[in-house]
């Protein structure tokens, strides 16, 4: 489990086929102290929870299954790609964002980025089946970054990203048209499920 507060921007060092057909192995360079990270630990990589299979002083290795590659934009990663990293939440840690599970619900895209005061207004387009889980003042994880929703219009969601978040995440270099991993707020998912059962 994670909070959506990115703790490092990692870089893909290498991409190789994994042990099974369609799988891929990624080596990621990081500034995290890998001595404190055990093999088998979970790290959110641009919002996708992956398991550490190997590690070195400044890097770690993860594998993504064919299904994960299909349902996220990890399949686009190549050497030099920069990704958001967050170590898993420990009991007693501050919950600065919202509860993020690292289970990507779908791939959206950036529609536009517009300067607005001291922040940047992002508009994201989400898959149609995810739009019903989004609401103004609710939360959404975009490439692993916890963001507060400003408004929802159809399957488009607007958020303002402050300068600090732009500086410490990959959103600072994001451009219109690029894909993003989306995870909706789990609370919204359960509320929608309860409402569906109430109508039955």
In the prediction, which pLDDT does 89 show? 77
Q: Kindly indicate whether the domain formed by 106-199 is annotated with CATH number 2.40.30.20.
A: yes
Residue 19 neighbours by CB distance under 10 Å? 8
As a whole number of angstroms, the distance between CA 3 and CA 145 comes to: 8
* Mean pLDDT for the chain overall: 91
DSSP labels, 45-92: ETTEEEEEEEEETTEEEEEE-HHHHHHSSGGG--TT-EEEEEEPP-TT
Report whether pLDDT(32) > 90: yes
Confidence band for 85, pLDDT divided at 50, 70 and 90: very high
As a whole number of angstroms, the distance between CA 95 and CA 53 comes to: 27
Give the pLDDT confidence of 128-162 residue by residue, as tens digits: 989 888 989 989 999 999 999 999 999 999 999 99
As a whole number of angstroms, the distance between CA 7 and CA 168 comes to: 8
Q: Where in the chain is the domain with CATH 2.40.30.20?
A: 8-87, 106-199
As a whole number of angstroms, the distance between CA 144 and CA 87 comes to: 11
Helix (H) or strand (E) holding 110: strand 106-116
Domain boundaries 8-87, CATH class = mainly beta
Residue 96 neighbours by CB distance under 10 Å? 9
Give the pLDDT confidence of 92-132 residue by residue, as tens digits: 666 666 789 999 999 999 999 999 999 999 999 999 989 88
Q: What is the pTM of this model?
A: 0.91
**Exposure of 11 in the CB half-sphere (CA atoms within 13 A):** 6
């Amino acid at each position: 489990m994670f909070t959506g507060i990115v703790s490092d921007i990692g870089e893909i060092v290498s991409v190789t086929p994994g042990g099974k057909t369609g799988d891929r192995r990624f080596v990621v360079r990081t500034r995290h102290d890998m001595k404190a990270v055990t093999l088998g630990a979970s790290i959110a990589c641009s919002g996708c929870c992956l398991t550490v299979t190997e590690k070195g002083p400044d890097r770690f290795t993860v594998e993504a299954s064919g299904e994960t590659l299909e349902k996220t934009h990890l399949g686009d990663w190549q050497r030099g790609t920069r990704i958001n990293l967050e170590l898993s939440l420990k009991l007693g840690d501050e919950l600065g964002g919202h509860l993020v599970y690292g289970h990507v619900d779908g791939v959206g895209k950036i529609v536009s980025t517009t300067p607005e005061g001291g922040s940047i207004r992002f508009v994201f387009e989400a898959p149609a089946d995810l739009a019903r889980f989004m609401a103004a003042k609710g939360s959404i994880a975009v490439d692993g970054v916890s963001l507060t929703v400003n408004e929802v219009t159809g399957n488009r969601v607007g958020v303002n990203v402050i300068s600090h978040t732009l500086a410490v995440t990959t959103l600072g270099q994001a451009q219109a048209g690029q894909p993003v991993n989306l995870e909706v707020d789990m609370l919204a998912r359960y509320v929608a499920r309860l409402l569906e059962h109430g109508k039955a």
